[in-house]
Amino acid sequence: MVYYTTDTSSRRSIYFAAALLSVLISYALSFVQSITVCRLVAPSALMIFGGLLWIFDRFLWRQSVFHKFTGIPDFNGRWTGHLTRKLIHDGKTTEEQAAVDLVISQTWSKIELILESETTRSVAQTAALFIENPTRLRLLWIYSVRSRTALEADNYYGEGVTELVFYPKERTLEGTYFSSKLRKGHLLLKQCKSLTSSNIVPQGPAQLSVRQNTPNETHVQEPNK
């Protein structure tokens, strides 16, 4: 998982609130300790601060009462769909479509994005979430991509950028990608179900399909993202 940035200041407010709450809890524990016969070792404010952040990062951030404050969507789960791109071969245009799976594991501070097609597997190296405009939530990440096959022709390494717009009502992600292999295309994904980061197991996607714009021509190319 990698840390992801946001374009709002809600995280600073959370840090401030956690720091203030940890000081108050530490002071309250010290007071209780001073008036009891049994001497207990009260945790320091720093330890309480770390514990509060850990609990919030793992669990509390996705609760509705905190989600309204942070504005960070919960993307955890499996997203299935397809990528589409146009290919020009011998002056004729064909449209290639391949099934893909996107598995997202997310906490309040970190995210993991793994996108797989029949022949490639890409992993996010850095990510950003743009939530300041609630009508257009965007998820952007830079990825590295490798071949999933042992074929020499497909044994390559590349990098690229993906930017998707999140539609919360439909639970879909839609946008474009561009790779260092000078390939670009369109992605449309829909969330299957919401999962926690601990029980997500990546699986391979379905086979690719190719629609041709020119009759009497068969042209199939592996969807190297």
Domain CATH for 160: 2.40.128
Q: What percent of the chain has pLDDT over 70?
A: 76
Write out pLDDT tens, residues 100-134. 999 999 999 999 999 998 888 899 999 999 998 88
Q: Which pLDDT score, from 0 to 100, does residue 106 have? A: 95
CA distance 123 to 1: 10
Higher-confidence residue: 103 or 35? Answer: 103
Could you tell me if 108 and 153 lie in one domain? yes
Domain-embedded: residue 1: no
Single residue among 49, 70, 91 that ends a domain in this structure: 70
CA distance 213 to 198: 44
Could you tell me if 59 and 90 lie in one domain? no
CA distance 197 to 220: 36
Evaluate the CA torsion angle 65, 69, 71, 72 in order and state its sign.
negative
CB 111 within 8 A of CB 95: no
Could you tell me if 16 and 83 lie in one domain? no
Q: pTM of the full predicted structure?
A: 0.76
Single residue among 70, 102, 125 that ends a domain in this structure: 70
Q: Looking at the predicted structure, is the pLDDT value of residue 55 above 80?
A: yes
- Exposed / middle / buried, residue 150 (Cβ in 10 Å: 0-12, 13-18, 19+): exposed
Q: How many CB atoms lie within 10 A of CB 211?
A: 9
Higher-confidence residue: 132 or 157? Answer: 132
Q: Which pLDDT score, from 0 to 100, does residue 187 have? A: 93
Higher-confidence residue: 56 or 154? Answer: 56
Q: Which pLDDT score, from 0 to 100, does residue 166 have? A: 95
Q: Which pLDDT score, from 0 to 100, does residue 22 have? A: 92
The range of the structural domain enclosing residue 58 comes to 6-70
Domain-embedded: residue 219: no
Could you tell me if 81 and 189 lie in one domain? yes
Could you tell me if 87 and 145 lie in one domain? yes
What is the Cα 145 distance to its own chain's centre? 16
Structure tokens at 203: 């699986």
